[in-house]
């Protein structure tokens, strides 16, 4: 029997302390493109996302809203699920840290490390940024402010349990050096290795000054520190230590933003080492979506609502824009103007135009039927060759997580398709080869487009009247000449609207 390969990808779980923003949307879209691609590649995929619902930040927001924390997160989590639906995110699990299935696992990890003798009781006297739920020393601050949020951290003094994270420094460095893919891109790996030149302090893993959290299993006066809770969601979603964890753990990719790399490599890495659990294969760090070069921030008023944008311009144009505009792993800028420009020039005029002209021609001039090809000329042979070259190239780029480059190649194939159609002049001589190969090119593009723009891909599939769903195809089938002569297609409709800037 052939063994089906498994693939487990996660996004960070979002704080539902405010409404979902463009950064959340971006991360989910990128993870979704990878998950969809892997399914087309034949992997059995588990793709998880969710919400991080405990901690002081949430407790305070709930209080401000005059609600219990539970009611507050129940209401807010709905918006994050809605974001996933609106963006066509094909998640397999949406995990909430207030679910009992998660608390059980989080407590089990705590208990294992405690029983190993690596958690001790003490007093924490120091600084804490509630916005990022992170402990800081004065040395970490920039002009006395949190390096991520720019606010002044609070002084905290409370009884806490500490995890002997410090003793894992050498093992972490060794792991990072031995597994070059553990932290990607390389710049982030170097950043963490540099920070690990300094001694590593023990980590506070419980809190006593408030109680919105998972109770510490050995001392109910304490709740688990929110990161000692949230990170463990990656194990709970696969039912560790049983359930699907045998098949899916260690995770293939944790996709996260650049502000939480330390938490996902050093903190998470040492927790897993201490608990005797394998480390994820890759922590992939994407950049930030900025607005006019500035970090999105509510206080600066620069937050763009992804739900509104998907509604106004369409989910697929938004997905397309974010992946094509922002180099994966680096920061990029969002603006409605550039979204519209890319939509009009690249989606409507290039991609949409190709699909529309090929299918309309077959529909109107060939009685809806794909004609039978005859002797191929050089251009025809080039097209057949390109189906193979681009399927292989885009596939390789996606295997290597080069999302932007992969999508760019796909658009190059559409551009080639338009040039081919123009050069063949099907309106002049015999259009058979042009339409037969054109239909197959359109089908090839539909398959490869699926990870990026799933609903447009499915619409093209329907115009072609291909059997089944585009979501269930094999990547390799993209290059096959599987739209046969005599096959009847449907009248196409424009795929993309144009917008005025």
Catalytic residue among 24, 54, 222, 286: 24
List, as one string, the DSSP characters of 412-475.
HHHHHHHHHHHHH-TTTS--HHHHHHHHHHHHHHHHHHTTTSHHHHHHHHHHTT-SS-GGG--G
Region of 216-224, 254-262, 301-309, 416-424 interacting with ligand ME8 (CB under 6 A): 254-262
Q: Rule CB under 6 A: is residue 420 a binding residue for ligand ME8?
A: no
Q: Is 21 a catalytic residue?
A: yes
Site string for ligand ME8, 256-295 (x = CB under 6 A): xx-xx---------------------------xx------
Find the part of the chain contacting ligand ME8 (CB under 6 A) among 84-92, 252-260, 274-282, 412-420: 252-260
Considering the candidates 145, 295, 369, 471, report the single residue annotated as catalytic. 295
Residue 24 among the catalytic residues = yes
Considering only residues 7, 8, 26, 135, which one is a binding residue for ligand ME8 as defined by CB under 6 A? 26
Task: Determine the size of the site formed for ligand ME8 (CB under 6 A).
Answer: 19
Of 13 and 103, nearer to ligand ME8 (C-beta) is 13
Catalytic residue among 63, 201, 298, 498: 298
- Cα–Cα distance for residue pair 351/443, rounded to 1 Å: 12
Determine if 444 is a binding residue for ligand ME8 (CB under 6 A): no
- Tell me which H or E stretch contains 182: none
| 3-state helix vs strand vs coil in the chain, percent to 5 | 50, 15, 35
Among 7, 27, 47, 172, binds ligand ME8 (CB under 6 A): 27
| Alpha carbon 105 to chain centroid, angstroms | 24
Handedness of CA 54, 56, 59, 64 (dihedral sign): negative
Interatomic CA distance for residues 248 and 238, integer angstroms = 7
Each residue 296-335 as x (binds ligand ME8 by CB under 6 A) or -, in order, gives x---------------------------------------
Q: Considering only residues 194-233, where is the footprint of ligand ME8 by CB under 6 A?
A: 230-231, 233
Cα distance between residue 41 and residue 36, in whole Å:
9
Q: Name the catalytic one among 129, 204, 434, 444.
A: 129
Report how far apart, in Å, the C-alpha atoms of 483 and of each of 163, 200, 435, 492 are. Answer: 60, 60, 11, 16
Smallest distance, Å, CB 256 to ligand ME8?
Answer: 4
- The partner residues of 47 in beta bridges, in order of sequence, read 9
How many other C-beta atoms can be found within 10 angstroms of the C-beta atom of residue 46?
23
Binder among 7, 8, 9, 15 for ligand ME8 (CB under 6 A)? 15
Cα Rg of the chain, angstroms:
25
Whole-number minimum distance, CB 11 to ligand ME8, in Å?
A: 7
Phi/psi-derived region of residue 61, left when phi > 0, alpha when psi is between -120 and 50, beta in every other case:
alpha
Shorter beta-carbon distance to ligand ME8: residue 15 or 72 = 15
* CA 318/CA 483 separation, integer angstroms: 30
175 is catalytic: no
Name the one residue in this structure whose structure tokens are 């593009």. Answer: 445
Out of 132, 204, 434, 444, which one is annotated catalytic?
132
- The reply to whether 141 sits near ligand ME8 by the rule CB under 6 A is no
Nearest to 212 by CA among 57, 12, 14: 57
* Burial of 464 (C-beta count, 10 Å sphere; 0-12/13-18/19+): buried
Give the per-residue contact string, 232-251, with ligand ME8 (x = CB under 6 A; - = no). Answer: -x------------------
Q: Taking CB under 6 A as the rule, does residue 52 contact ligand ME8?
A: yes
> Which one of the listed residues 67, 104, 145, 149 is annotated catalytic?
149
Task: Name which of 10 and 440 has its Cβ closer to ligand ME8.
Answer: 10
217: Cβ contacts below 8 Å, ≥ 6 apart = 107, 108, 110, 111, 114
Give the contacts of 388 (CB within 8 A, at least 6 positions apart). Answer: 479
CB of 293 to ligand ME8, least distance (A): 12
Which one of residues 7, 8, 9, 23 is an interface residue with ligand ME8 (CB under 6 A)?
23
Q: Give yes or no: 139 in active site.
A: no
* Interacting span for ligand ME8 (CB under 6 A) from 255-263, 303-311, 404-412, 489-497: 255-263
In the complex with ligand ME8, the residue whose CB is nearer, 104 or 149, is 149
Whether 30 is a known active-site residue: answer no
Contact with ligand ME8 (CB under 6 A) among 9, 14, 270, 398: 14
Q: Which stretch binds ligand ME8 (CB under 6 A): 10-18, 155-163, 346-354, 394-402?
A: 10-18
What tokens appear for 94 in the block? 């949406």
Give the per-residue SS3 of 320-374: HHHHHHCCCCCCEEECHHHHHHHHHHHHHHHHHHHHHHHHHHHHHHCCCECCCCC
Angle between helix 315-325 and 403-424 (nearest 10) = 110
Is residue 129 part of the annotated active site? The answer reads: yes
Contact status: 13 vs ligand ME8 (CB under 6 A): yes
Cα–Cα nearest to 355, from 472, 210, 459 = 459
* Residues found near ligand ME8 in the complex (CB under 6 A): 12-15, 23-24, 26-27, 52, 230-231, 233, 256-257, 259-260, 288-289, 296
Which positions are annotated as active-site residues?
A: 21, 24, 129, 132, 146, 149, 295, 298
């Amino acid at each position: 029997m052939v063994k089906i390969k498994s693939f487990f990808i996660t996004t960070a779980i979002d704080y539902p302390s405010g409404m979902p923003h463009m950064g959340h949307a971006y991360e989910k879209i990128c993870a979704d493109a990878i998950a969809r691609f892997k399914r087309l590649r034949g992997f059995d995929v588990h793709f998880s996302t969710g919400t991080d619902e405990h901690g002081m930040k949430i407790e305070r927001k709930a209080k401000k809203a005059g609600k219990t924390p539970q009611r507050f997160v129940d209401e807010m989590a709905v918006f994050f699920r809605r974001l996933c639906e609106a963006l066509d995110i094909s998640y397999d699990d949406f995990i909430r840290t207030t679910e009992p299935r998660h608390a059980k696992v989080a407590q089990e990890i705590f208990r294992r490390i405690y029983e190993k003798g690596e958690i001790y009781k003490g007093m924490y006297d120091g600084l804490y940024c509630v916005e990022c739920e992170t402990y800081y020393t004065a040395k970490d601050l920039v002009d006395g402010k949190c390096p991520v949020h720019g606010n002044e951290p609070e002084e905290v003094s409370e009884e806490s349990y500490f995890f002997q994270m410090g003793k894992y420094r050498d093992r972490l460095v060794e792991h990072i050096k031995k597994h070059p893919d553990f932290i990607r891109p390389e710049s982030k790996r170097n950043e963490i290795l540099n920070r690990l030149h300094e001694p590593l302090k023990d980590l506070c893993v419980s809190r006593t000054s408030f109680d919105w959290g998972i109770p510490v299993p050995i001392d109910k006066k304490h709740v688990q520190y929110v990161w000692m809770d949230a990170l463990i969601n990656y194990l709970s979603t696969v039912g560790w230590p049983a359930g699907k964890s045998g098949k899916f753990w260690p995770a293939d990719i944790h996709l996260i933003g650049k502000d939480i790399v330390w938490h996902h490599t050093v903190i998470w890495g040492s927790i897993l080492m201490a608990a005797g659990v394998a480390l994820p294969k890759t922590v992939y760090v994407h950049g930030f979506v900025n607005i006019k070069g500035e970090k999105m921030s509510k206080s600066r008023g620069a937050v763009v609502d992804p739900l509104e944008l998907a509604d106004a311009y369409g989910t697929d144009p938004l997905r397309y824009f974010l992946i094509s505009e922002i180099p994966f792993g680096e920061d990029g800028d969002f603006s409605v103007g550039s979204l519209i420009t890319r939509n009009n020039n690249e989606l409507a005029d290039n991609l949409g135009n190709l699909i529309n002209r090929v299918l309309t021609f077959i529909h109107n001039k060939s009685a809806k039927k794909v004609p039978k090809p005859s002797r191929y000329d050089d251009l025809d042979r080039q097209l057949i060759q390109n189906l193979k070259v681009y399927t292989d190239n885009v596939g390789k780029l996606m295997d290597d997580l080069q999302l932007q480059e992969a999508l760019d190649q796909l658009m190059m194939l559409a551009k080639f398709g338009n040039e081919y159609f123009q050069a063949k002049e099907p309106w002049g001589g015999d259009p058979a080869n042009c339409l037969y190969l054109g239909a197959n090119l359109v089908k090839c593009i539909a398959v490869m487009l699926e990870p990026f723009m799933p609903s447009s891909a499915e619409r093209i599939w329907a115009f072609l009247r291909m059997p089944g769903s585009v979501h269930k195809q094999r990547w390799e089938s993209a290059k096959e000449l599987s739209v046969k002569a005599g096959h009847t297609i449907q009248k196409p409709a424009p795929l993309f609207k144009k917008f005025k800037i």
